[in-house]
């Protein structure tokens, strides 16, 4: 009798340990996220899959922005900054779409003949049941 109880309890624990891995996914970007830059804003969008039973993801995007003068130089002034955006997005059938808009505001303004330039944009995705992962796209 004792042997049967040990076998049943062992089987229960083996199943209990296997269930989370059955629901866990392998989160990843589907393709490369897209970006669109217009004036002082950059919008990035993409799709994440392999999210398993996750209910929502948190996505962030960050970039450095600076003013470029007509001589193709970045002046050493206060018109450089890091910008960021973030949001929570629902997961449906193990997939989620996201879209984030980064906006740069300068004092003094980056006005013509200077041009606003975004550096590489890093997108990071996190959730409750997986480690965060990221990708960087060039503007």
Residue 34: CA count within 13 A, CB half-sphere: 7
How many angstroms separate the CA atoms of 63 and 70, rounded?
A: 22
Q: Which residue reads 């018109």 in tokens?
A: 79
Q: Evaluate whether residue 82 is within a structural domain.
A: yes
Give 19 or 45, the one with higher predicted confidence. Answer: 45
DSSP secondary structure code for residue 51 in this structure? -
Q: Evaluate whether residue 43 is within a structural domain.
A: yes
Beta partners for 41?
38, 103
Q: Evaluate whether residue 133 is within a structural domain.
A: yes
Number of domains comprising the chain: 1
Q: Evaluate whether residue 83 is within a structural domain.
A: yes
How many angstroms separate the CA atoms of 117 and 55, rounded?
A: 36
| Residue 61 reports pLDDT greater than 90 | yes
Mean of the per-residue pLDDT values of the chain:
85
Note down the domain range covering 69: 26-137
Q: Minimal CA–CA distance to 127: which of 22, 27, 23?
A: 27
Q: Evaluate whether residue 67 is within a structural domain.
A: yes
Q: Evaluate whether residue 7 is within a structural domain.
A: no
Mean pLDDT highest for which of 71-80, 86-95, 98-107?
86-95
27-31, 69-73, 80-84, range with the lowest pLDDT: 69-73
Mean pLDDT highest for which of 20-24, 75-79, 130-134?
130-134
**What digits encode the pLDDT tens for the residues 33-58?**
999 999 899 999 999 999 999 999 99
Q: Evaluate whether residue 9 is within a structural domain.
A: no
The share of the chain scoring above pLDDT 70, in percent, equals 82
25-39, 100-114, 125-139, range with the lowest pLDDT: 100-114
Q: Which residue reads 């994440």 in tokens?
A: 48
Give 33 or 3, the one with higher predicted confidence. Answer: 33
What CATH code is carried by the domain that includes residue 57?
Answer: 2.60.40
8 A C-beta contact, residue 122 and residue 135: yes
């Amino acid at each position: 009798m004792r042997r049967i109880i040990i076998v049943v309890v062992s089987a229960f624990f083996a199943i209990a340990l296997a269930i989370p891995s059955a629901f866990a996914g392998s989160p990843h970007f589907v393709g490369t996220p897209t970006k669109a830059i217009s004036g002082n804003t950059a919008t990035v969008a993409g799709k994440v899959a392999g999210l398993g039973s996750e209910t929502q993801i948190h996505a962030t995007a960050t970039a450095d922005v600076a003013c470029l003068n007509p001589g193709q130089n970045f002046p050493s002034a206060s018109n450089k900054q890091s910008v960021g955006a973030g949001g929570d997005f629902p997961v449906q059938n193990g997939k989620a779409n996201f879209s984030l808009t980064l906006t740069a505001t300068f004092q003094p303004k980056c006005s013509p003949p200077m041009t606003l330039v975004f550096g590489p944009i890093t997108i990071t995705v996190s959730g409750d049941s997986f480690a965060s992962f990221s990708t960087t796209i060039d503007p």
